[in-house]
Each structure stands twice: as C-alpha cells, then as structure tokens.
Amino acid sequence: MFTTLASIARLTRVGFVLAREGALALVDPAAVPAGPARWGLALARLIERRNAGASAERLAAALTRLGPSHVKFGQFLATRPDVVGQRVAADLSLLQDRMPPFPVDVARRTVEASLGKTIGDVFTVFDAPIAAASISQVHPALTKAGRKVAVKVLRPQVRERFSRDLKAMRRGAELAEAFSPEAKRLRITGVVDTLIRSVTMEMDLRLEAAALSELAQNTKADSDFRVPKPDWELTGRDILVAEWIDGIRLSDLAAIDAAGHDRVKLGQCVIQSFLKHTLRDGFFHADMHPGNLFVDAEGRLVAVDGGIMGRLGPKERRFLAEILLGFITRNYTRVAEVHFEAGYVPAHHSVADFAQAIRAVGEPIHDRSADEISMAKVLTLLFEITGLFDMKTRTELVMLQKTMVVVEGVGRMLDPKLDMWRTAEPVVRDWIARNLGPVGRIEDAGRGVMSLAGAVAQLPETVARGERLLGHLEEASTRGFTLDAGSVEAIGRAEARRNRWGNLALWAIAGLLAWQILKG
C-alpha cells in the first residue's frame, strides 16, 4: 500500500512538472479518450509557463528538471521514434546526461569499500572528478605502480533512487495502457521494462568492463581504432578502473588541427569503424558522441565509456549490409526482397509495391551532392515507410539507427564534405563478399557439417533416451502412473482443502435452509 502511494506521489510530481514546462503540448487531445482524461489535459495546459519554447524542447527541459533517471528515460526514448515520433526523438537525443559531481570523500569511501583497501594502498593520487553523469563519475588517478588510470565510481544510493523512479514509471505506463489503446499498441510498459534492464546493467560496472574487453578483442587487429583496457583486479560492481587515455576529444576541432591530425581521414575512420564493428562483429558502441571519442598521439580513434552497447545477429547484419548496398547501387528490388527474406514485412504484401515505396526514399539522394546525402536520414525514412507495410519495430534496428545518426553527425563535424555512401561502400562490399560470396558459403557449409556431425555423434544417446521413454510409457499404460510420496502428500493436502471448503459450503446451505424453515 505504501509503495503504491509513493508511486502515485511521484507520478503526480512528474505530471505537474510536465504540465508546468509545457511538455503536454505534445499530446494530441484527439488521441485522449473523451471525458475526465481530456478534461485533465485541458486543465494541465492552463499552468504552462509562458515562452517555454518549442514543445519538444519543453519535454527535454521537464525531464532535466525531474532528475537523472528521467533524463536517462528521455535519452532512451530518443532511440524509439516509433513511440515518440521523429521530431521528438531528434530533440531528446540532445539531452545531456550531465549532473553535479558528488564529493571526492564519498567516492573515496566507495572505492575503499569495493576494494577492501584504503585509497593509499592502491593509489598515490586520486584527483577530483573530471566528468559526472547520472549514474557515475570519473576520477583521474595514479596507481602505486605509476600507471595513470581513469576510475569510474558509481553514485551513492543510485540504485535505490533509480529503482523508486523506475517503479513509478512502470506504474505510469500501466495506467497509460489501461486508458489509451494507442499506448497499449506501442507497448509502453515494454519500453519501460527495456529501460529497466538497460539501467540495471549499467549499474554493474563489471559488465561495462566486460563490454570494453569484448570490443578490444574484436578490434585487436584494427590499426586505427582501440578502446581503453580495463584493470580487472581493481574493478568491481561499484568501480571500474581502466587505462587513462591521453588524447584529444573529437569535439575539439582546433586542437585536432593544431596537433596535425587529418580530419578527413578521421571522419572516414569514425564511419568505417562503426560499420566494421556492426557488420563484422555484431557488437558496436552505441553511444559514440564526441565526448566519448578521442584521437590519440598516433592518430588512432579511441572510444571510451562502454556502458551502452548494441548487438546484431547474423540475420540483422545481412539485412543491414544488403539494404545499404542496395541503396548504393540503386537496386531497390533487392532491398525489398531482403526485407521479405528477413521476415520483417509480412508475406501478404507485394515485393514490387514495397520496392516502389523504397525507390521514393532512394532516388532523391542520387540527385544531390555527396555532402547533402544523409545515410541516417535514408534509414529513418526507410523505417517510416516500412511502417506502412506492417513492419514491426525491431529494437536492435532502432538502436542501430539512433547510433548511426550520432556517428554520421560526428563524421560530418570532422569533414562537412564527407561522402557517407562512398565511405561506407568498401566496408559493406567487403562484408558481403566475405560472408555471402563463395568463401562465406563454404564456411556456412562447414558449420552445417559440424552441426550435423555433432547431431550424429549424439544419435546413440538420443536413441537410448527414446527407448527408455517408450519403455516408461508402455509400463505406465499397463500399470498406471506411479506418483512419488511428495506428490501423493501434495494431492492429499489439496483434497483436504477442497473438502474443508466443500463442508463449509454444505453447512452454509444447510444454515440458509434452516433459516428459511424457521422464517416460514
């Protein structure tokens, strides 16, 4: 009861802040059921601040005012344009997860509790934070061995605070689905549940260390990209220690130019690295904004902060590669066929009609100069059109689209004349030649043979299990099924409960009859 009241109180505060900041201007009154809900919306609009800005800007302002967990929720909604719309998603993607730092003494105590040692036992220097976000903050430090490291420390009580807010969000989503068919169709509760899982993983810094380790293993042969190496001995649930990156943030264009780095080459590296990780490895950094990207003294791209990662399976990778190549070569029929082969578009639709719709997306880009063509925009328009053909939302593809928007923005920031399609083509063609050409088919056949060999090797055991099962069934058909003592006892208890309720019912009926007789 107390938990429910607390959730209602938090939802009330959220509603007030959204109304005050004017974020409810985004709600279409026609989509709200007539009656109390529509009256409530009209009343809420009366308390809006004047000159609050555009409606999407108001939503970002409201989420910032509500605090870290709501900022995180807004950033997550930026990956779901199918839920909030393209314009709102674009504005929410600009939300900055920047919070005031918590005291160094608190961070020291967290580190000491995690390591079971004093700060002086591990570090000779532990400086003030250089970056602070909703879940953690980062401190530069120097180990006893003389290595400079970055120490990420979880905020105190962050799990409890996020848990309370996310429970309230879940309750709000349930209420929205109860009163709005559109909210139910969009599965708002599923959106919140996905956020809860994502945040839960972010709050265990060992998982971030594992993500950095996996990305490092995947890219160990890449000469132009790397990630910081985590120190597993000094990493725990609440702290992550990784090598310090001496580099220039990609947002500092003046420093990049002063250091003599080639911005054109660097822009190409950002795009091609992302596509390699996505297509080749199926595992990509999903938060590649300029603050998380550096260029080191050797000109290599360095990505930090592995808290948000994305994965694509083999089917999704093939889908991405073939649609990109289809747009590059203007083979719209093939792009349409890939959608049907992947099962993304229901078979009752026409491939030719779908190809015609895709042509409406692809043809305009071939009449424009390279620096005017946005790969991310093409994918956005493509997903809009697929909605007309009953294509269901694929979370992994939406995350990919969101990341591509950010990556493309970084690439064009470094080189405004960047040709996205020409930059992407060699990576896409190499992947298709490697995986869908003769070599890939031979490897697929080899994997199939290995799977078949494994199944054959297990065949005797499978046959033996089948014979034993048939024997048990034959015995049961003649003697009946034998129940163990625990099952018999459980059935006895159930029967006793049923008999008690049956007896009570009989006594109640008898009492009613007696009362009727006496009354008569």
Q: Is residue 67 part of a domain?
A: yes
Shared-domain flag, residues 187 and 72: yes
Shared-domain flag, residues 86 and 184: yes
Shared-domain flag, residues 170 and 260: no
Shared-domain flag, residues 270 and 375: yes
The residue among 334 and 500 whose pLDDT is bigger is 334
**One-letter amino acid of 246:** D
| pLDDT of the residue at 394 | 66
212 pLDDT band, cuts 50/70/90, is: very high
Shared-domain flag, residues 257 and 193: no
CA 344 – CA 331 distance, rounded (Å): 19
Q: Is residue 128 part of a domain?
A: no
Q: Is residue 87 part of a domain?
A: yes
| Contact call for residues 79 and 402 (beta carbons, < 8 A) | yes
Shared-domain flag, residues 420 and 277: yes
What does the pLDDT look like over 412-467, one tens digit per residue? Answer: 899 988 888 788 889 989 998 888 765 444 544 454 444 455 545 566 666 666 66
What does the pLDDT look like over 144-194, one tens digit per residue? Answer: 999 999 999 999 988 888 888 888 888 888 887 887 776 776 677 877 887
| pLDDT of the residue at 440 | 47
Q: Is residue 130 part of a domain?
A: no
Shared-domain flag, residues 396 and 475: no
At 439 the three-state DSSP class reads helix
Q: Is residue 205 part of a domain?
A: no
Q: Is residue 519 part of a domain?
A: no
Cα torsion 497, 499, 503, 504 to 10°: value is: 20
What does the pLDDT look like over 10-68, one tens digit per residue? Answer: 777 777 777 777 666 666 676 666 777 677 777 777 677 766 556 556 777 788 778 77
* Mean pLDDT across the chain: 79
Cα torsion 269, 273, 279, 285 to 10°: value is: -140
What does the pLDDT look like over 103-116, one tens digit per residue? Answer: 999 999 999 999 99
Most confident of 72-81, 160-169, 257-266: 257-266
Answer whether residue 348 shows pLDDT above 50: yes
| Contact call for residues 59 and 91 (beta carbons, < 8 A) | yes
Six token digits for residue 480: 């009946």
pTM of the complete model: 0.72
Shared-domain flag, residues 421 and 312: yes
Instruction: Tell me the average pLDDT across 352-371.
Output: 78
The residue among 237 and 319 whose pLDDT is bigger is 237
Q: Is residue 113 part of a domain?
A: no
Angle at 251 between CA 223 and CA 70, to 5 degrees: 110
Residue bearing tokens 């393209």: 86
Residue bearing tokens 């992994």: 396
Instruction: Tell me the average pLDDT across 399-412.
Output: 83
CA 214 – CA 502 distance, rounded (Å): 62
Count of the separate structural domains present in the chain: 3
Shared-domain flag, residues 312 and 187: no
Shared-domain flag, residues 40 and 186: yes
CA 198 – CA 399 distance, rounded (Å): 12
Range of the structural domain that residue 304 is part of: 253-436
DSSP 48: P
Radius of gyration of the chain (CA): 29
CA 455 – CA 411 distance, rounded (Å): 48
CA 204 – CA 196 distance, rounded (Å): 13
| pLDDT of the residue at 447 | 45
Over pLDDT 90: what percentage of the chain?
30
The active-site residue out of 91, 97, 287, 415 is 287
Q: Is residue 375 part of a domain?
A: yes
Residues 6+ apart with CB under 8 A from 483: 491
Active site residue 390: no
| pLDDT of the residue at 461 | 66
CA 111 – CA 138 distance, rounded (Å): 12
| pLDDT of the residue at 94 | 65
Residues 6+ apart with CB under 8 A from 275: 424, 427, 428
Shared-domain flag, residues 170 and 295: no
Beta pairing, strands 283-285 & 247-249: unpaired
CA 62 – CA 79 distance, rounded (Å): 18
Answer whether residue 7 shows pLDDT above 70: no
Shared-domain flag, residues 360 and 432: yes
Answer whether residue 119 shows pLDDT above 90: yes
